[in-house]
Chain A
Amino acid sequence: GDSVTQMEGPVTLSEEAFLTINCTYTATGYPSLFWYVQYPGEGLQLLLKATKADDKGSNKGFEATYRKETTSFHLEKGSVQVSDSAVYFCALTERAGNTPLVFGKGTRLSVIA
């Protein structure tokens, strides 16, 4: 079945550092790919998405490119802020809306001033 593997955290960075969180996936077809962010004590928010190969999703300075050849969707940000401290989840779907997304285990990011 489908699966998502993302790098284990926690990841600790200094403010203004470059961020990469790796995400690779296994799917039988051509899934849509997502990154979600969860701030402490809150639910998940969609950060960005990509629906086909070579698409780049971007939002709030974060970017991820759908790489079919490497089955990857790595999250990047050029300069992190303390407010980016959160848990980041990579997810996919290649099914209809009556099935849940497939999530990675999440990567906790802490940004220190």
Chain B
Amino acid sequence: GAVVSQHPSRVICKSGTSVKIECRSLDFQATTMFWYRQFPKQSLMLMATSNEGSKATYEQGVEKDKFLINHASLTLSTLTVTSAHPEDSSFYICSARDRGLYTEAFFGQGTRLTVV
């Protein structure tokens, strides 16, 4: 199947700093990517849908100024957690689907963010 690569897999940052997470589709063009957040032992929470060349669509309750999403090319989307605080510590996962109808989603390996 297709490959989605997410980097870094783990990051520890100080409170108040910003962290960038990259998500790349390696063998297909992803016009749309999705960003999820997952708390321990809980389900996936969709944060936003990232569209190449346009603004991301955020889910209700997600702060767009805190979680900046950029999708500048057909193979790269980035999530920047700005002015991070300990409550932003979580597991972040990106996903992409190919363009067709009924196609499966491919997921990155996830990023464990710890804010100290």
A residues bordering B, Cβ < 8 Å?
A: 31-32, 34, 36, 41-46, 49, 51, 89, 91, 93-101, 103-106, 108
Q: Across the interface, which residues of A come within 8 angstroms of B108, CB to CB?
A: 43
In the assembled complex, how far is the CB of residue A2 from the closest CB belonging to chain B, in whole angstroms? 13
In angstroms, Cα B102 to Cα A91, docked, is: 11
Q: Across the interface, which residues of A come within 8 angstroms of B32, CB to CB?
A: 97-99
In angstroms, Cα B42 to Cα A108, docked, is: 10
In angstroms, Cα B36 to Cα A103, docked, is: 12
Q: Across the interface, which residues of A come within 8 angstroms of B43, CB to CB?
A: 89, 103-106
The reply to whether the CB of B81 lies closer than 8 angstroms to some CB of chain A is no
Task: Decide: A43 and B98 in contact? CB cutoff 8 A.
Answer: no
* Size of B's binding interface in residues, CB under 8 A: 30
Task: Decide: B103 and A93 in contact? CB cutoff 8 A.
Answer: yes
Task: Decide: B31 and A98 in contact? CB cutoff 8 A.
Answer: yes
The reply to whether the CB of B68 lies closer than 8 angstroms to some CB of chain A is no
- Residue of B4, B102, B106, B107 with most partner-chain A CB within 10 A: B102
In the assembled complex, how far is the CB of residue B25 from the closest CB belonging to chain A, in whole angstroms? 11
Task: Decide: B93 and A31 in contact? CB cutoff 8 A.
Answer: no
Q: Which 5 A-B pairs have the closest CB atoms?
A: A97-B97, A43-B107, A32-B102, A98-B32, A105-B43
In angstroms, Cα B102 to Cα A32, docked, is: 6
